[in-house]
Amino acid sequence: MEINKIYNEDCLSTMAKIPNDFIALTVTSPPYDNLRTYDKKSGFKWNFEIFKPIAEEIYRVTKEGGVVVWVVGDATIKGSETGTSFKQALYFKECGFNLHDTMIYEKNSSTYPAGKKSSRYSQIFEYMFVFSKGKTKCNLIIDKPNKWKGFKDFSGKLKNPVLDFSPRNNIWKYTTSFNGVKHPAPFPEKLANDHILSWSNENDLVYDPFMGSGTTAKMALLNNRNFIGSEISSEYCEIAKERIKEFDKK
């Protein structure tokens, strides 16, 4: 299996070549509920029956202690959210994963419901489900300022004062930006960056089964990790390859 390569094929074909217990971290966002047309040429249609064998294969190729970050949302059809994200999360648990954390990706701008008389609030977030295969080791990002930094309790039981910073909360806010990337839904580079730092170590192998414009690959390389990517669209595959060319270790 060649690493630091984006395979122009569906992810099941790629994972068929990956040994068991091989991937330290998967960071991805699937084409959920067909909210956008990613590539008309491929004719790819996303649904739960397509998702299930992908989830099963992701479990097989993930190392013990490995993590999957699944960034996903729901479409609203006839006034009701599909709930696909929760259905997928539960299926990952059926495959054997632990639901390590249910995190929120808060965007800087919202999507307003159609019509002035909408009964729904504007949508401004997506889920970031963090699944672990067994007990995982993590490198939590410690950048939340402590209100009580330096404080020592009056009883004298605390040997050390409260630290300046503590681990951040599990709602992460990012500015959505295409940054010149020709893709309908790239997630922010910092989102991929922060998860890679949190759930992997240098020289680990990071996988993205829906590589798109190459964000996960780029941030893996920038953080001294290796990657494997799958992308069914030849157009996006070429965009991703060009995007990471200057960072590639080859």
Q: Does 159 reside within a domain?
A: no
Q: Does 162 reside within a domain?
A: no
Give the pLDDT confidence of 12-23 residue by residue, as tens digits. 999 999 999 999
According to the model, what pLDDT value does residue 212 have? Answer: 93
Q: Does 12 reside within a domain?
A: yes
Give the pLDDT confidence of 73-109 residue by residue, as tens digits. 998 888 889 999 999 999 999 999 999 999 999 998 8
Residue 211 has pLDDT above 80, yes or no: yes
Q: Does 240 reside within a domain?
A: yes
Angstrom distance (rounded) from CA 99 to CA 67: 10
According to the model, what pLDDT value does residue 214 have? Answer: 95
Domain that holds residue 212: 5-141+169-247
Q: Does 155 reside within a domain?
A: no
Residue 95 CB coordination number (10 Å): 18
Q: Does 149 reside within a domain?
A: no
Phi first, then psi, for residue 190 (nearest 5°) are -65, -30
According to the model, what pLDDT value does residue 120 have? Answer: 81
**CATH number of domain containing 192:** 3.40.50.150
Confidence class for position 112, pLDDT limits 50, 70, 90: low
Instruction: Work out how many domains the chain is built from and give that number.
Output: 1
Share of the chain above pLDDT 90, in %: 69
197, 25 contact by CB (below 8 A):
no
Give the pLDDT confidence of 161-183 residue by residue, as tens digits. 788 899 999 999 998 865 555 55
Residue 38 has pLDDT above 50, yes or no: no
Q: Does 54 reside within a domain?
A: yes
Q: Note the helical H segments in the chain.
A: 11-15, 48-61, 84-95, 189-199, 215-222, 234-244
Q: Does 31 reside within a domain?
A: yes
Provide the 3-class DSSP secondary structure of residue 184: coil
